[in-house]
Amino acid sequence: MTAENFTGQVAIITGAGQGIGFEIAKQIALQGAAVLINDVNQELANNAVTAIKNLGGNCIALVGDAADIDFIQQMVDTAVQQFGKLTIAIANAGITLYGDFLEYPASSLQSVMSLNLLGSFFLAQRAARQIIKQKSGGSILFMSSVTGHQAHKDLAAYGMTKAGLEMLAKSLVVELSPLQITVNTVAPGATLTERTLEDESYQDTWSRITPMGRPANVQDVANAVLFLVSPQAKHITGQNIVVDGGWTAVSTSPY
């Protein structure tokens, strides 16, 4: 994709202080978009904005909980006030709370569903309302996971939310396609981020069981996301791209 690909576009990216979200924010800003970077962690959000501005990108931070509906509306309003419009919404923030199904507490289920599903649903809703007012279309993207395709031990709640996001994208095709809004998902496999690298065996384990011989890096995932929200993908909607180095083709267990 060229440097001009996102010129004139305005994007919101949730959970973009580090990891996959930060890489998406960096790449899309460096290709011309103005970006609202959300994170619940103030230090991470501010550091992300400083890093991207130092590279020449145009972005602002908005600190808050991407699961909170009032805050979601504030993100949309702030993007419009600061940058004049909103054309791209990327619901990237998501949490993974591991736990044995037979002991899994309601509080964990509520937290996972609240951010992964409710936060993504209402970001899509509020972004779509704004994009419709502008009458020139836009793109919504949900961050799924291969855990929404293949069963993983101790991840029933998380996997359920990621499978749900892929069905949400398909469902919204009915209502949002006539308004020229695309809705797609990206499902990363094991990806090297600050969080996953806290597990010292993560890289070796996933290198061993991934057909391409390594886990994804954040650039691999961001490349797929940028394609799906770019002008090149404006006739692609309701679809998912798996970025997993072939893992779901064989699905060798990490355990």
Q: Which residues are catalytic?
A: 145, 158, 162
Contact pick of 5, 9, 38, 182 for ligand NAD (by CB under 6 A): 38
Strand ranges in 73-229 using DSSP code E only, listed in sequence order:
88-91, 138-143, 181-188, 191-192, 216-217
Q: Are 147 and 199 in contact (CB under 8 A)?
A: no
For residues 52 and 93, which CB has a smaller minimum distance to ligand NAD in the complex? 93
Q: Is 40 in the site for ligand NAD (CB under 6 A)?
A: yes
- CA 217/CA 196 separation, integer angstroms: 11
Per CB under 6 A, the list member of 41, 50, 171, 217 interacting with ligand NAD is 41
Compute the least distance from the CB of residue 239 to ligand NAD, in Å.
17
Stretch that binds ligand NAD, among 12-20, 26-34, 132-140, 247-255 (CB under 6 A): 12-20
Q: Kindly state whether residue 181 participates in binding ligand NAD, applying the rule CB under 6 A.
A: no
Smallest gap from residue 7 Cβ to ligand NAD (A): 26
Q: Is position 244 an interface residue for ligand NAD (rule: CB under 6 A)?
A: no
Q: Which of 9, 13, 21, 229 binds ligand NAD (CB under 6 A)?
A: 21
What is the distance in angstroms between the CA of the first residue and the CA of the last residue of the chain?
38
16 HSE (CA, 13 A, CB side)? 31
Rounded distance between C-alpha atoms, residue 137 and residue 128, angstroms: 9
Q: By CB under 6 A, name the one of 92, 182, 185, 210 that touches ligand NAD.
A: 92
Answer yes or no: are the C-beta atoms of 158 and 175 closer than 8 Å.
no
Q: What is the pattern of x (binds ligand NAD, CB under 6 A) and - over residues 184-213?
A: ----x-xx-xxxx-----------------
Cα→Cα distances 51→17, 54, 66, 127, 195, Å: 10, 5, 22, 26, 19
Nearer to ligand NAD, 20 or 131 (CB): 20
Beta bridge partners, 183, equal 140
- Closest by CA to 175, choosing from 237, 226, 228, is 237
Q: How far is Cα 12 from Cα 37, in angstroms, rounded to an integer?
A: 6
CA 62 – CA 38 distance, rounded (Å):
5
For residue 44, state whether it binds ligand NAD (rule: CB under 6 A).
yes
- Of residues 130 through 159, those in contact with ligand NAD by CB under 6 A are 143, 145
- Site membership for ligand NAD, residue 245 (CB under 6 A): no
Residue 104-123 contact track with ligand NAD, rule CB under 6 A, x = bound = -----------x--------
Whether residue 214 contacts residue 207, with contact meaning beta carbons closer than 8 Å, is answered with yes
**Site of interaction with ligand NAD (CB under 6 A):** 14-15, 17-21, 38-41, 44, 65-67, 92-96, 115, 143, 145, 188, 190-191, 193-196
